[in-house]
Amino acid sequence: MIRKSIAVAAVGLLMAGSAFAANEGGTGQPEIIVHRPNPKDAGAGYATAGGTGALSAITYHGGPVMGTPNAYIIWYGNWAQSNGSDTAAGKALVTSFLGGIGNSAYFKINTTYSASGGAPTGAVSLKSSTTDNYSHGTRLSDSAVLAVVSSAITSGRLPKDPAGVYFVLTSSDVSESSGFCNRYCGWHTHGSVSGTDIKYSFVGNANRCLSSCAAQTSSPNGNAGVDGMLSVVAHELEEAVSDPDLNAWYDSAGSENADKCAWTFGQPKSSLPGQVCSGSTCWNQSWGGHNWLVQRNLSASNNRCYLGLNGAQ
């Protein structure tokens, strides 16, 4: 069974052209996924495009999906640093991203994940946020991440919302002991808080390990750490929507929708939709007055990776 779906990547090293695993499986503990070196960094001029053919089938296992998720943010650690990444401007990027992703052609790919109780709408509602000033120090365990979410809810700083997806976003001085930066870049799961099934996700600031958890070191918004983490946020959000309780949509290897398209960013183009580059900086989406580089997502209709519903690959 799927446990926790991870967005990625074993630490960087590795030779260009090495084999890759597009899937991060979900059998028990997080698997190590080799994060292919970014072709852009190798001089090719763009982030990994990815293939356009059909992948192995993702299938439905009977559980619920989320219609319109309510997103909540817990800013863990210190997001008021002078490092150019864990900053007020960095927080504003996250807010703009989550505030605008709903009803984008990109997020509407999730509408293909129908379920017995209804399909995702493609909308996302960014609700509210709170802060957590290192309540569990600078090294979080998986259980501490749940404790951070639980505390935010039981203290009343965030509502207890079964339609919510709670993101614990850590500043770059915070590690996650089960493997942030070396086994994964983020994960999502669910757990019980005061008797309610709560969906939540950990995503760390990629500034801690750009070679592992970011596709590029110069980014469309001048903040490679946060721009990198936003692709992981999208990954976990679309998995939380299509497989919130880990019993809905995944393939025979346990991979969820975004797993199957991880670290692929679409074919190079001179304009959107497609992957557009200016110098060494690339992007493939635009909303909220910003450009973003976000991984593709899988259509359940034909098991291919797309940048938008029925759109560019």
Cα–Cα distance, 187 to 25 (Å, whole number): 12
Strands (E), the chain: 5-6, 9-10, 33-34, 58-60, 70-76, 125-132, 139-140, 164-170, 175-176, 186-193, 196-204, 249-251, 276-278, 281-283, 285-287, 290-292, 297-298, 305-306
- Binding to Zn ion by residue 5, rule CB under 5 A? yes
Cα–Cα distance, 19 to 28 (Å, whole number): 23
Q: How far is the CB of 300 from Zn ion (least distance, A)?
A: 15
Q: How far is the CB of 255 from Zn ion (least distance, A)?
A: 7
Q: Which C-beta is closer to Zn ion: that of 24 or that of 132?
A: 24
Q: Which C-beta is closer to Zn ion: that of 85 or that of 297?
A: 297
Nearest CA-CA partner of 280 in 230, 219, 229: 219
- Binding to Zn ion by residue 110, rule CB under 5 A? no
Q: How far is the CB of 3 from Zn ion (least distance, A)?
A: 11
Please report where in the chains the tokens 């600078």 appear, as a residue.
138
Applying CB under 5 A, the site for Zn ion has a residue count of 3
Q: Which C-beta is closer to Zn ion: that of 184 or that of 292?
A: 184
Q: How far is the CB of 235 from Zn ion (least distance, A)?
A: 5
Do residues 58 and 300 lie in contact, with contact meaning Cβ atoms separated by under 8 Å? Answer: yes
Pairing relationship of beta strands 125-132 and 70-76 according to DSSP bridges: parallel
Q: How far is the CB of 251 from Zn ion (least distance, A)?
A: 12
- Binding to Zn ion by residue 201, rule CB under 5 A? no
Token reading at 36: 């292919």
Burial class, 156, CB count within 10 angstroms (exposed 0-12 / middle 13-18 / buried 19+): exposed
Q: How far is the CB of 278 from Zn ion (least distance, A)?
A: 29
Q: How far is the CB of 259 from Zn ion (least distance, A)?
A: 4
Q: What is the DSSP letter of 100?
A: H
Burial class, 268, CB count within 10 angstroms (exposed 0-12 / middle 13-18 / buried 19+): middle
Contacts (CB under 5 A) with Zn ion, residues 243-302: 259
Among 4-12, 130-138, 171-179, 191-199, the segment contacting Zn ion (CB under 5 A)? 4-12
Q: How far is the CB of 242 from Zn ion (least distance, A)?
A: 10
Nearest CA-CA partner of 206 in 177, 156, 170, 163: 170
Q: What is the DSSP letter of 30?
A: P
Do residues 215 and 281 lie in contact, with contact meaning Cβ atoms separated by under 8 Å? Answer: no
Q: Please report, for residues 63, 137, 207, 222, 232, the alpha-carbon distance to residue 90 in angstroms, rounded to integers and kept in the order given.
A: 35, 21, 11, 10, 15
Residue nearest to Zn ion (CB): 5
Contacts (CB under 5 A) with Zn ion, residues 210-249: 239
Footprint on this chain of Zn ion (rule: CB under 5 A): 5, 239, 259
